[in-house]
Chain A
Amino acid sequence: MDIYTEIILDYYKNPRNEGPLPDATTCAKEDNPLCGDKIRINLKIEKDKKTGKEKISKATFCGKGCAISQASASMLTEKLIGKTPKEIEKITDEDIKKMLNIPISPAREKCAILCLHAAKKALTERGSAKKSAPCPGCKKETASGRPKRI
């Protein structure tokens, strides 16, 4: 079965919620040393005016890497917006695989779930000393491209 479905390719080529988030309240990065995928998830967490509960009001991702990692991150940001931190903690690796709806080989699993791990890290590290600085505004990098001249 094809892993590069139209939906995956659409999110890869026309990513939603991609780019820095200047008013983010937390963010975190994860990378996959195997293929060099890098994902940073930026979150803005606000108190809901009606319920008083914390909620993700904005979510973006920055990163580079393979189509699976980028499409997955973009799809996930859409899923995160409107959720409470508790709800995000409950999202599993399996949920991500369902969201992508493609056969993921064990070698590509890390690519797919990188974004979820970054999002959870952003939540657990918020307010702590370890917390990464709010989104520094990564510049868009290419996945591979030409090697540098040595």
Chain B
Amino acid sequence: MKDSKALKKDFPIFATKSVKKDGKELIYLDSASTTQKPESVITAITDYYKTSNANIHRGIYTLSEKATIQYEDVRKKTATFINAGTPEEIIFTRNTTEAINLLAYTFGEKHIKQDDEIIVSELEHHSNLVPWQEVVKRKKAKLKVIPIKSDYTPDMDEYHKILSPKTKLVAITSMSNVFGTKTPLKEIIEAAHKKNALVLVDGAQSAAHQKTDVQALNCDFFTMSSHKMLGPTGVGILYGKKELLADLPPFMFGGDMIKSVSQYDSEYADPPVKFEAGTPNIGGIMGFGAALDYINKIGFKTIEENDKKLFEYAVKKLSEIEGINLLIPPADKAGPVISFTLKDIHPHDIAAVLDQDNICIRAGHHCAQPLMEKLGIPATARISFHIYNTPEDIDKTCDSLKKAIKIFE
């Protein structure tokens, strides 16, 4: 099996001259935000535009048929990737945020009533919080929040306490984008189902790092973003159990999502087409298909081993730096994400110093402002990695962090 040093060669950005800074190679440690793309993904997109560009589901001519087949192939591939029951359970959106909004507007509109409760956790990205805040406002329902414990994992005792017959939906991340915490999905889902509540798993962070099996999990909905999975921007996925999707009203109206239209009324298509109004991001979806192929080729075993190896190495190396404070869960629950603070240096200043060494890290509230408030800090610095990151990246980052200490002491 190729190691990460060899795999890095699959990602053309690292060999691009203009990306170097004063001769320094790009060190990219912001994959939780968006990943880099392998050559095969970039080629798949250009190939589509060069060899099969036509609108889908419309043309009678060969070119359109070819595009339609390729597009539907990616749907099948996606279904296999997360082990959905059928491809019809896969809806293409723009990103995770749109997928969650789709649910909030359809499921929320139809099934949330006054005094119902929706449960989220303190770990949620704004994407899996704000849409539900809006639903409960519109419906005079209630939002309940699973707090986190001092080890940055969700407080499951509290979860079981707030779960009640009033709970209609539990919307939970599979992996925190701030702490990398993997959440106990099986326990969460089983308990929710016992109370007849449905569960939406926000899989944006985990989808490209661990195998997803929506049937084994038995989650009702699952979301992910292509751009965090080595694929292009502009493509997201909403998975939903077939019978649940069939029961939901459409989200957007217009072309492609209809069975038949008369002047004053229309009949809507079946899922997934019902939820895919208008011309989708066909080129992007072709790229996403190539990203899935790439992940399948490397295999989750290799990805997880590299994540684990790098996590352990990074924790060891970073811990040697004086005045650093790592915000990480216990190792068995940790993903490829490490948030930290360094002395009293503002995370923006840390990131700016690292940028001078061409090292990309994230600094900010990571779209988790309530969480930052709870921690009593405005922001953290965060490194996150994927298959192209190596121990040398961590070494260089540590050197650069020591530079930051020198500058600001």
Interface residues, chain A, CB within 8 Å of chain B? 2-4, 9, 12-13, 33-37, 64-68, 108, 111, 142-150
Smallest CB-CB separation from A146: which chain B residue? B325
Smallest CB-CB separation from B148: which chain A residue? A150
Smallest CB-CB separation from A35: which chain B residue? B348
Instruction: Point out the residues of chain B lying under 8 angstroms from A65, CB to CB.
Output: 346, 378
Interface pairs A-B: 8 shortest CB-CB: A36-B378, A147-B375, A148-B376, A66-B346, A143-B346, A66-B348, A35-B348, A142-B344
Task: Select one of B147, B346, B375, B376 contacting A35, CB under 8 A.
Answer: B346
Smallest CB-CB separation from B376: which chain A residue? A148
B185: interface (CB < 8 Å): no
Task: Select one of A108, A146, A148, A150 contacting B348, CB under 8 A.
Answer: A108
The answer to whether A143 and B345 touch (CB under 8 A), given A9-B407, A150-B148, is: yes
Task: Select one of A2, A9, A35, A149 contacting B379, CB under 8 A.
Answer: A35
Shortest beta-carbon distance, A123 to chain B, in Å?
27
- Which of A37, A67, A111: most chain B CB closer than 10 A? A67
Shortest beta-carbon distance, A88 to chain B, in Å?
27
Cα–Cα distance between A65 and B379 once the two chains are bound (Å): 10
Smallest CB-CB separation from A149: which chain B residue? B150
Instruction: Point out the residues of chain B lying under 8 angstroms from A144, CB to CB.
Output: 341-347, 377-380
Cα–Cα distance between A126 and B346 once the two chains are bound (Å): 32
The interface size bin for chain B is 20 to 34
CB neighbors of A among B292-322 (8 A): none
Q: List 13 A-B contacts (CB under 8 A).
A: A34-B364, A35-B347, A35-B348, A111-B348, A143-B349, A144-B343, A144-B378, A145-B341, A145-B344, A146-B325, A147-B380, A148-B377, A150-B147
The answer to whether A108 and B352 touch (CB under 8 A), given A36-B372, A150-B149, A150-B374, is: yes
User: What 17 new A-B contacts, CB under 8 Å, besides A35-B346, A143-B349, A144-B344?
Assistant: A4-B352, A33-B365, A35-B364, A35-B378, A36-B379, A65-B378, A68-B349, A143-B346, A144-B343, A144-B346, A144-B379, A146-B341, A148-B374, A148-B376, A150-B147, A150-B150, A150-B374
Instruction: Point out the residues of chain A lying under 8 angstroms from B349, CB to CB.
Output: 4, 66-68, 143
B86: interface (CB < 8 Å): no
Instruction: Point out the residues of chain A lying under 8 angstroms from B246, CB to CB.
Output: none
Interface residues, chain B, CB within 8 Å of chain A? 147-150, 325, 327, 341-349, 352-353, 356, 363-365, 369, 372, 374-380, 407-408
Smallest CB-CB separation from A107: which chain B residue? B348
Task: Select one of B149, B325, B348, B407 contacting A147, CB under 8 A.
Answer: B325
Smallest CB-CB separation from A31: which chain B residue? B378
Task: Select one of A4, A34, A111, A147 contacting B377, CB under 8 A.
Answer: A147
Smallest CB-CB separation from B149: which chain A residue? A150
Instruction: Point out the residues of chain B lying under 8 angstroms from A3, CB to CB.
Output: 352
Instruction: Point out the residues of chain B lying under 8 angstroms from A34, CB to CB.
Output: 364-365
Smallest CB-CB separation from A147: which chain B residue? B375
Cα–Cα distance between A68 and B348 once the two chains are bound (Å): 9
Instruction: Point out the residues of chain A lying under 8 angstroms from B407, CB to CB.
Output: 4, 9
Instruction: Point out the residues of chain A lying under 8 angstroms from B379, CB to CB.
Output: 35-36, 144
Instruction: Point out the residues of chain A lying under 8 angstroms from B343, CB to CB.
Output: 144-145
The answer to whether A145 and B375 touch (CB under 8 A), given A4-B353, A35-B346, A35-B348, is: no
The answer to whether A147 and B327 touch (CB under 8 A), given A35-B379, A65-B378, A111-B348, is: yes
Cα–Cα distance between A148 and B83 once the two chains are bound (Å): 41
Task: Select one of B150, B345, B365 contacting A36, CB under 8 A.
Answer: B365
Cα–Cα distance between A36 and B150 once the two chains are bound (Å): 23
Shortest beta-carbon distance, B11 to chain A, in Å?
24
Instruction: Point out the residues of chain A lying under 8 angstroms from B325, CB to CB.
Output: 146-147
